[in-house]
Amino acid sequence: MESLYVIKIGGNIVDNPTLLNTCLQSFAKVKGQAILVHGGGKMATSIAKSMGVEQTMVEGRRITDEDTLKIVTMVYAGYINKNIVAQLQALGVNAMGLSGVDGNLIKAHKRTHDSIDYGFVGDIDAVNTDFLLQLLSTNIILVVSPITHDGRGQVLNTNADTIAQSLSTALVSKYNVHLIYGFEKEGVLKDMNDPSSVITHIDRPFYATLKNQKIINEGMIPKIDNAYEALDNGVQSVIIGKAEKINELMNGTAGTIITN
């Protein structure tokens, strides 16, 4: 089967024009099929503040009330998505931007929690695999923003790491899928203050140890949990590392490889 790379870039990359440009130049060199998933960054927070819309974060997740939903939809599915697509076009990559709403790509439901009201945050129910495969058959590079819908007219804000994992697992019957989580650090670090302390390989027992020792913090745990969800559902490999080093991450010479 042909290989396909699902590459997610985090908000800290999106926020930095220099890092984003370097990352997209690296992405433009990817040979074959690829999907780019992007996070939201700080722009939504900045715009919300300027509009007097108070923002609340719980464990790194944005509480998405009605006003915030309008802002993140405009920023994530609008400005950020189209800015990335425009930069890829300038690099000779014929890209198309879309959200989970377009073509019924990603259906989700409003998150429920015993003690926290996350507002209009969506947890994924289904990916429209047939539509995704139709798009991939055109050889256009897809750039996906973290906005989904519930099928009843409600737009939802959904975690980009989870979107990348869900798109990856939806395609395992047709491709050898490789999932890359690109962010601002070299990989999973033993010491957050030492960029050279990259843990090159994590399996399940080692992951449990790292969590018990508090070496892996709250922000990284959901990312690695998503990695194992992907591996459990047929994704070939998951690598976490520096977004500007996509090509090195793909050939295994950088980052942290997650295995069972």
Q: What is the pLDDT of residues 128-158, one digit of tens each?
A: 999 999 999 999 999 999 999 999 999 999 9
User: First vs last Cα of the chain: how many Å apart?
Assistant: 22
- pLDDT of 172: 97
Write down the pLDDT at residue 56.
87
What is the pLDDT at residue 192?
A: 86
Topology (CATH level 3) of domain 3-187: Carbamate kinase (3.40.1160)
pLDDT at 13: 94
Question: In the chain, which residues have pLDDT < 50?
Answer: none
Are the beta carbons of 197 and 162 closer than 8 angstroms?
Answer: no
What is the structure's pLDDT at 60? 66
* pLDDT, tens digit, 9 for 90 and up, residues 152-170: 999 999 999 999 999 999 9
